[in-house]
Amino acid sequence: MAINDPIGDMLTRIRNAQMRGMSKTTTPASKLRQRVLDVLQTEGYIRGYSRVEQPNNKADLEIELKYFDGTPVISHIKRVSKPGRRVYSSVKDITPVQNGLGISILSTPKGVMSDSVARENNVGGEVLCNVY
């Protein structure tokens, strides 16, 4: 089955797995998904991820979810830019998420990064999602 929005699919898998209290979830592998997971791992929202090769020349990403006192570290994860409506932001227009308690993940010409790193590098781009 074809997936129209691979990032949205991955975020939904994470959200659903955390609602069920699962320690791990899997998603089909792609470079963009890996970059988004790199940002989530660097910012401390997930424990980590690993690439698992499947026998049919496909690969999956196994995501280790993070909990604190039994509650998920990610309380909200929302897709901002969708295939039907792309949302771009210049470096001046990047707004803090939850007054700085959350992050935005942006796809910029210098790679996928969080909003604070994008401000440091003075670069804007497509706002992929908000996490808090």
Q: Of the candidates 2, 14, 6, which has an alpha carbon nearest to the alpha carbon of residue 82?
A: 6
**For residue range 51-63, what is the model confidence (pLDDT) as tens digits?**
999 999 999 999 9
- What CATH number does the domain containing 46 carry? 3.30.1490.10
- Domain that residue 61 falls in: 6-131
In single-letter form, the type of residue at position 99 comes to N
Partnered with residue 103 across adjacent β-strands are 131
Share of the chain above pLDDT 90, in %: 98
**Exposed / middle / buried, residue 69 (Cβ in 10 Å: 0-12, 13-18, 19+):** exposed
DSSP output for 85-122? B--EE-GGG-PPGGGGTSEEEEEETTEEEEHHHHHHHT
**For residue range 83-101, what is the model confidence (pLDDT) as tens digits?**
999 999 999 999 999 999 9
In single-letter form, the type of residue at position 96 comes to P
pLDDT for 105 equals: 98
Whether 84 is covered by a domain: the verdict is yes
Whether 105 is covered by a domain: the verdict is yes
Q: Of the candidates 72, 87, 92, 70, which has an alpha carbon nearest to the alpha carbon of residue 128?
A: 87
Q: Is the dihedral of CA 40, 42, 45, 49 positive or negative?
A: positive
> Block means of pLDDT (10 residues each) for the chain, length 132 residues?
90 98 98 98 98 95 97 97 97 96 98 98 98 98
Whether 109 is covered by a domain: the verdict is yes
Tally of domains in the chain = 1
Distance from the first to the final alpha carbon of the chain:
30
pLDDT for 79 equals: 98
Whether 100 is covered by a domain: the verdict is yes
Whether 110 is covered by a domain: the verdict is yes
Whether 1 is covered by a domain: the verdict is no
Residue 21 is classified by DSSP as T
Whether 74 is covered by a domain: the verdict is yes
pLDDT for 103 equals: 98
